[in-house]
């Protein structure tokens, strides 16, 4: 009869600071949010402790919330797909360039993070606005007499999202491409592949983990946003996060805000679980480290 | 140093929005600001916080843009030089935002004085337990404040005041005179905001449900202080929504949209329009019949250092300070013109009442509006999003 392995507590001792931090800073607040979702908002900013499902019933039966979820996931998919296309090219360039100071290119990539997210978003008003740079050039070249309206619509919101989140995609794809053996593509070429076939059959499949990790980050960050539509969007451009803002800040209805927050967390959690099931989270760790 | 990096960015953005800087300079400064913030921001912020520890700190939150600039230049800087205390000013997105932060934090740390809007919000701060008790003996300049302004606040807190009334204004209609004539604008009144010919060139304030409902009431032919048909109000709001380019969310954004001709027509705050006019923009302004007037206070939160706060309020209410701020922010002061001689510039400000009685202005009835706020604000947030 095999002897049972003795329980070794030492790894748990070592892990305990991290586990405590996660318990207090992540799990406990989420539990608070869940508990709050059962409370009743009796007046603006006045909540009553209760255990009832009124807020959840509203969420599940009111098409207003369902429409916002649909709009949010639709926008997240659009931004993710565009960021994947637009991000792959610079990532490929950085990974394969012979430029000796590659660190400089990577520095340029993270340089925008030094400027406030809100200011970066607002800068598009001065680029795409009626009196912005693009319209200024078009009018100066005589291509149009009147400014072309580009702001305060879905297009402007998508541009704002891609501008802010593209570096996450590029970095993830870059890390993935950097890990591919440089000899594989020439080897495929010597076996008769065209350059496009070599990329499609060798490089692209091997870089998919990075592409998927970047896509996950861009998707989750987009779906959780609310400021970009406020600054760059029109009245039809809002995401689920804007409903949470309305409930918590405008209506001072924290129980409903907690219900909506937990719902968004749950839905995005499902996306992460699906990703983890198929891709694992290792690639994310690599890129983020 | 009294500003954090975010505040500096806000100011830069507002200067650009107000048309005081060209695009190229803005982009150059933006790059430089990013570099400085990245390289030296952390160290400088730490050092400045240590330096600030010398006097008492008063945290002030207000509406940003020209209003904050006027207060900083004409009130806070001279007050700091005179007393050695520090006023740390910040811009809020609305008083709801401040209340949410206070409730979440469970303390008023970092919050002392709010540039609060109207009696409705005064009552809300009081109802939520944030009412301080101001000793009016420490604010002798309060004697110059219009009785008509003080009276509604005393009705909410009969034993004491928690705020000093400071200014008033109107939310009327601004229009670009290049595209809309004065005669047409005034003939259409509140319905100018529903002019289908201006579709895509109309704006609206998205930050306040009552403002939107007030105009919905005017457009549906109702007395805003006695609305009987809320469905008709929201129908008009939906009609307006279908015509607008954007709901603006701050005074700086309002000025930016009008100055850059993104929109030609919107309801607007009188002082912001006066500032645009002073910069030479072709913007007209009128108050439609029963247009919305409001008054603002400097509300002191319970738990703030009262002696220093009262000293600041007295300093701010001094005629020379109050008039200088009024000229800067373009809103008339709460001082009684029958007691304090106003300058010609103040006398020319929109909404200025030389009688000191404010009889010609229509304010929100807090009883009527507060009792429906919970339901109608929820409704507004939905209508705003197309529901």
pLDDT in tens, B71-98: 999 999 999 999 999 999 999 888 988 9
B255 touches chain A (CB under 8 A): no
User: Rounded to whole angstroms, how far apart are CA atoms A259 and A37?
Assistant: 5
pLDDT score recorded for residue A228: 96
Which pairing describes strands B202-205 and B244-248: parallel, antiparallel, or unpaired?
parallel
- Is pLDDT above 80 for B142? yes
Taking the alpha carbons at both ends of chain B, their separation in whole angstroms is: 46
Task: Give the pLDDT confidence of B290-305 residue by residue, as tens digits.
Answer: 999 999 999 999 999 9
Contact B246 A234 (CB under 8 A): yes
If one counts every other C-beta atom within 10 angstroms of the C-beta of residue A54, the result is 16
Residue B32 is predicted with a pLDDT of 56
Handedness of CA A127, A129, A134, A140 (dihedral sign): negative
Distance from CA of B262 to the nearest CA of A (A): 6
Report the sign of the C-alpha dihedral through residues A91, A93, A94, A96, in that order. positive
CB pairs under 8 A between A and B: 96
Say if residues A93 and A173 touch (Cβ distance below 8 Å). Answer: no
Q: CB–CB of B231/B373 below 8 Å?
A: no
State whether A235 and B128 contact (CB < 8 Å): no
The whole-number pLDDT of residue A113 equals: 87
B246 pLDDT exceeds 60?
yes
For residues B248 and B266, what is the distance between their CA atoms, to the nearest angstrom? 10
Q: Is there a contact between B246 and A152 if contact means CB atoms under 8 Å apart? A: yes
CB of A140 within 8 Å of a chain B CB? The answer is no
Q: Nearest C-alpha of chain B: how many angstroms from A182? A: 35
| Domain B55-168+294-359 in CATH 3.90.800.10 | no
Interface check for B40 against chain A (CB to CB < 8 A): the answer is no
Q: How far is CA A76 from the centre of its chain?
A: 8
State whether B260 and A130 contact (CB < 8 Å): yes
- The continuous run of DSSP H or E covering B115 comes out as strand B113-117
Q: How far apart are CA B104 and CA A258, in angstroms?
A: 13
What are the tens digits of pLDDT across the range B29-69? 555 555 544 444 444 444 444 444 468 999 999 988 888 89
Chain B contact present for A157, CB below 8 A: no
DSSP notation for A41-103: EEETTEEE-----HHHHHHHH-HHHHHHHHHHHHHHHHHHHHHHHHHHHHHHHHHH---S-HH
Residue B173 and residue B289 in contact, taking contact as beta carbons nearer than 8 Å: no
Identify any residues that bridge with A43 across adjacent strands, giving them in sequence order: A46
CB-based contact, B239 to chain A, within 8 Å: no
* The two structure tokens encoding residue B322: 């109050």
Residues 6+ apart with CB under 8 A from A59: A65, A259, A260, A263
A50-116+167-288 CATH: 1.10.3720.10
Number of neighbours of residue B151 by Cβ within 10 angstroms? 10
Residue B27 pLDDT class (50, 70, 90 cuts): low
Contacts of B287 (CB under 8 A, 6+ apart): B170, B172, B173, B270, B293, B350, B351
Highest CATH level, class, for B169-293+364-384: alpha beta
ipTM for the predicted complex comes to: 0.85
Mean pLDDT computed over every residue of chain B? 88
Angle, in degrees to the nearest 10, between helices B23-52 and B5-17: 150
DSSP letter (8 states) at residue B197: G
The SS3 assignment for B173 reads strand
**CB contact, 8 Å: B124 with chain A?**
yes
SS3 B292: strand
Query: By the CB < 8 Å criterion, does B155 face chain A?
Result: no
Q: For position B365, what pLDDT does the model report?
A: 87
Mean pLDDT along residues B354-365: 90
Are B66 and B251 in contact by the 8 Å Cβ rule? The answer is yes
B246 contacts chain A (CB < 8 A)? yes
Task: Report the gap between the CA of B386 and the closest CA in chain A (Å).
Answer: 7
Question: What Cα–Cα distance (Å) separates residue A93 from each residue in A2, A163, A180?
Answer: 56, 18, 14
| pLDDT for position B367 | 83
What pLDDT does B51 receive?
Answer: 46
Say if B201 is an interface residue toward chain A (CB within 8 Å): no
Q: Residues 202 to 221 of B: which have CB under 8 A from any A CB? A: 209
Residue A120 pLDDT grade (very low, low, confident, very high; cuts 50, 70, 90): very high
Residues A168-192: what's their mean pLDDT?
93
Residues in chain A: 289
B25 CB within 8 Å of a chain A CB: no
Is B185 in contact with B273 (CB distance < 8 Å)?
Answer: no
**Interface test with chain B among A157, A230, A235, by most B beta carbons within 10 Å:** A235
Q: Residue range A216-242: average pLDDT?
A: 96
Flag if B103 and A45 touch (Cβ within 8 Å): yes
Looking at chain A, the whole-number percentage of residues with pLDDT higher than 90 is: 81
For residue B128, the 8-state DSSP code is T
Return the percent helix, strand and coil in chain B, to nearest 5.
55, 15, 30
Residues of chain A with C-beta less than 8 angstroms from the C-beta of B240: none
Q: Which two tokens stand for residue B117?
A: 């809007």
Max Cα distance, chain A (Å): 90
Please name the residues in contact with A14: beta carbons below 8 A apart, sequence gap of 6 or more: none
Decide if B55-168+294-359 and B169-293+364-384 have a common fold. yes
Percent of chain A with pLDDT over 70: 96
Confidence of residue B25 (pLDDT cuts 50, 70, 90): low
- SS3 percent helix, strand, coil of chain A, rounded to 5, is 75, 0, 25
Instruction: Check the CA dihedral A279-A91-A162-A196 and report its sign.
Output: negative
Determine whether the interchain pair A249/B93 forms a contact, defined as Cβ–Cβ distance below 8 Å. Answer: yes
- Using the Cβ of B378 and the Cβ atoms of chain A, whether some distance falls under 8 Å is answered with yes
pLDDT at B47: 46
- From chain A, the residues in CB contact with B103 under 8 A are 45, 252, 254
**How distant is the Cα of A115 from the closest Cα of chain B, in angstroms?**
5
Are the C-beta atoms of B211 and B267 separated by less than 8 Å? yes
* A95 or B53, greater pLDDT: A95
Mean pLDDT of B366-381: 91
Q: Do B13 and A119 touch (CB under 8 A)?
A: yes
What are the backbone angles phi and psi of residue B265, rounded to the nearest 5°?
A: -140, 140
Q: Would you list the domain boundaries of chain B? A: 1-54, 55-168+294-359, 169-293+364-384
Greater pLDDT, B250 or A134: A134
The torsion angle over the Cα atoms of residues B292, B297, B302 and B304, rounded to 10 degrees, is 140
For residue A160, give Cα distances in angstroms to A14, A71, A75, A176, B213: 43, 16, 12, 26, 31
Q: List, in sequence order, every residue forming a beta bridge with B247; answer none if it has no partner.
A: B204
Terminal alpha carbon distance of chain A: 45
Checking if the pLDDT of B202 tops 80, the result is yes
Q: What is the pLDDT of residue B1?
A: 38
pLDDT at B157: 95
Q: Report the pLDDT averaged over residues B126-152.
A: 95
Phi and psi torsions of B91, nearest 5°: -105, 135
The predicted model gives B205-227 an average pLDDT of 95
pLDDT tens digits, residue range B183-196?
Answer: 999 999 999 999 99
Contact of B373 with chain A, judged by CB distance below 8 Å, is answered with yes
Q: Tell whether B244 is within 8 A of chain A (Cβ).
A: yes
Q: Does B23 sit within 8 Å of A238, measured CB to CB?
A: no
Cβ distance B284 to B177 under 8 Å?
yes
Return the minimum-mean-pLDDT range out of A63-77, B53-67, B277-291: B53-67
């Amino acid at each position: 009869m095999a002897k049972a392995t003795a329980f070794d507590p030492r790894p748990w001792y070592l892990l305990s600071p991290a586990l405590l931090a996660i318990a207090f800073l992540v799990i406990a607040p989420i539990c608070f949010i869940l508990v709050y979702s059962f409370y009743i908002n009796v007046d603006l900013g006045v909540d009553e402790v209760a255990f009832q499902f009124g807020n959840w019933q509203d969420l599940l039966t009111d098409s207003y919330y369902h429409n916002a979820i649909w709009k949010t996931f639709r926008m997240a998919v659009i931004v993710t797909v565009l960021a994947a296309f637009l991000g792959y090219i610079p990532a490929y360039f950085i990974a394969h360039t012979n430029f000796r100071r590659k660190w400089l290119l990577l520095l340029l990539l993270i340089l925008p993070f030094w400027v406030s997210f809100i200011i970066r978003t607002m800068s598009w008003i001065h680029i795409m606005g009626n009196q912005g740079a693009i319209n200024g050039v078009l009018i100066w070249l005589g291509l149009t007499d009147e400014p072309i309206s580009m702001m305060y619509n879905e297009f402007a919101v998508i541009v704002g999202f891609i501008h802010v989140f593209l570096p996450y995609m590029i970095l993830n794809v870059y890390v993935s491409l950097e890990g591919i053996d440089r000899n594989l593509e020439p080897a495929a070429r010597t076996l008769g592949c065209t350059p496009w076939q070599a990329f499609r059959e060798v490089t692209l499949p091997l870089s998919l983990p990075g592409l998927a990790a970047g896509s996950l980050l861009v998707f989750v960050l987009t779906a959780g946003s609310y400021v970009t539509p406020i600054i760059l969007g029109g009245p039809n451009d809002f995401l689920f996060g804007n409903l949470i803002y309305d409930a918590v800040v405008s209506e001072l209805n924290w129980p409903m805000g907690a219900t909506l927050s937990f719902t968004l967390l749950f839905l995005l959690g499902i996306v992460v679980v699906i990703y983890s099931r198929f891709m694992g989270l290792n690639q994310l760790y690599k890129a983020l480290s | 140093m009294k500003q954090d990096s975010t505040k500096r960015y806000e100011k830069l953005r507002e200067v650009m929005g107000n048309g005081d800087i060209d695009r190229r300079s803005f982009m150059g400064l933006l790059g430089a600001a990013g570099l400085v913030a990245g390289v030296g921001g952390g160290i400088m912020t730490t050092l400045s916080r240590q330096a600030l520890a010398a006097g008492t700190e008063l945290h002030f939150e207000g509406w940003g843009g020209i209003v904050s600039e006027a207060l900083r230049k004409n009130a806070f800087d001279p007050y700091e030089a005179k007393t050695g205390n520090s006023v740390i000013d910040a811009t809020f997105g609305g008083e709801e935002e401040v209340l949410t932060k206070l409730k979440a934090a469970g303390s008023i740390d970092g919050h002392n004085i709010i540039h609060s809007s109207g009696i409705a919000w005064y009552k809300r701060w009081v109802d939520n337990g944030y009412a301080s008790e101001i000793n009016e003996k420490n604010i002798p300049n309060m004697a110059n404040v219009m009785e008509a302004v003080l009276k509604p606040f005393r009705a909410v807190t009969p034993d004491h005041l928690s705020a000093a009334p400071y200014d008033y204004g109107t939310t009327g209609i601004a229009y670009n005179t290049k595209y809309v004539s004065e005669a047409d604008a005034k003939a259409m009144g509140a319905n100018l905001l529903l002019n289908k010919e201006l579709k895509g060139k109309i704006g609206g304030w998205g930050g306040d449900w009552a403002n939107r409902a007030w105009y919905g009431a005017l457009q549906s032919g109702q007395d805003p202080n006695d609305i009987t048909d809320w469905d008709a109000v929201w129908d008009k709001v939906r009609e307006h929504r279908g015509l607008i380019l954007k709901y603006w969310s701050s005074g700086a954004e309002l000025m930016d949209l009008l100055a850059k001709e993104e929109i030609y027509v919107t309801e607007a705050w009188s002082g912001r329009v006066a500032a645009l006019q002073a910069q030479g923009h072709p913007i007209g302004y009128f108050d439609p019949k029963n247009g919305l007037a409001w008054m603002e206070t400097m509300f002191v939160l319970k738990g703030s250092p009262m002696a220093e706060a009262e000293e600041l309020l007295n300093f701010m209410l001094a005629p020379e300070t109050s008039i200088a701020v009024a000229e800067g922010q373009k809103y008339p002061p709460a001082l009684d013109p029958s007691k304090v001689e106003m300058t010609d510039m103040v006398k020319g400000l929109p909404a200025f009442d030389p009688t000191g009685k404010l009889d010609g202005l229509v304010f929100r009835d807090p009883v009527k509006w507060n009792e429906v706020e919970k339901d109608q604000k929820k409704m507004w947030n939905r209508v705003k999003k197309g529901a």
